[in-house]
Amino acid sequence: MRVLFIGDVVGGPGRRGVRETMPALRERHAPDLVVINGENSAGGMGITERTANDLFAAGADVITTGNHVYRHREAYEFIDRCERLVRPANYPSGNPGRGHTLVEVAGRRVAVINLSGGIGLTVARSPFDTVDAILDQLGAELAIVDFHAEVSSEKVAMGWHLDGRVAAVFGTHTHVPTADGRVLPGGTAFISDVGMTGSRTSVLGVKPEQVLQQMIKQMPTRFETATEDVWVMGAVVEVNERGLADRFEQVMEPAPPQS
């Protein structure tokens, strides 16, 4: 079984990138399951029912999120209702949505778990304790984890914590692809950050001149999503019958230029 994971989709340019590259990605990698992080899909921050449905229409089987998931209040009812969209499991239990979901893929029950890092981000519980509790009661043959975290050391620690227990731990949130993707000794595919899906002519998806103005002048600046040189970034993992990874491959695919 093959899993294609696509990192933080930033705004309309990121959604377009997914839509336009998905046929080539499917032809090249033949994924059985496509998981997309969509927490920045609405104008570069947050997710709405419309942007989630854009990603589902483009080929997502499951959408993960992160610290901006609740940016748009009008999306709360959809987040609560949509079983194929998950938010960090270590958020307060009464918050809209769910922290993991189960999907049937190639005759196997697959869990997709979303976690938020506890260092530099606001969470209700430790991501380590939370994922342990989920795995203890999970009725699935294999699990995929999106660890949406700020600090590389916490992401690496989660990879080792889950090695041999889940098929893959994909790091998200920092938008810059790392060079540490591999299969750990116990059989868990890991990467600190898969990168973002959006404009590379940007600062993490935002127009460079706006970020520079804020950083240099230290004044409030309205950010806009950059649109040029869109790339889709992620990873493909081959999962064996034991529910662990045999192979990891990083994905960096340029989208066709806008006509």
What residues contact 236, with CB distance under 8 A and at least 6 apart? 2, 3, 4, 5, 29, 31, 248, 249, 251
Tens-place pLDDT, residues 197-212: 999 999 999 999 999 9
**Which band of pLDDT confidence, cut at 50, 70 and 90, is reported for residue 259?**
low
Is the pLDDT score of 136 beyond 70?
A: yes
Is 72 a catalytic site residue? Answer: no
Q: In sequence order, which residues have a C-beta less than 8 Å from that of residue 227 and are 6 or more positions away?
A: 12, 13, 199, 258
pLDDT in tens, 217-256: 999 898 999 999 999 999 999 999 999 999 999 999 999 9
User: Could you tell me which of 113, 114, 73 has the C-alpha nearest to residue 96?
Assistant: 73
Q: CB–CB of 79/111 below 8 Å?
A: no
Integer Cα distance of 226 and 229 in angstroms: 9
What percentage of the chain has pLDDT greater than the value 70?
Answer: 100
Assign 257 a pLDDT band (cuts: 50, 70, 90).
Answer: confident
Closest CA to 90 of 101, 102, 81, 99: 99
Q: Rounded to an integer, what distance in angstroms lies between the CA atom of residue 144 and that of residue 110? A: 8
Beta-bridge partner residues of 153: none
Q: Would you say the C-alpha torsion 167, 48, 39, 51 has a positive or negative sign? A: positive
Active-site residue, from 29, 68, 72, 175: 68
Domains present along the chain, CATH in parentheses? 2-197+232-249 (3.60.21.10)
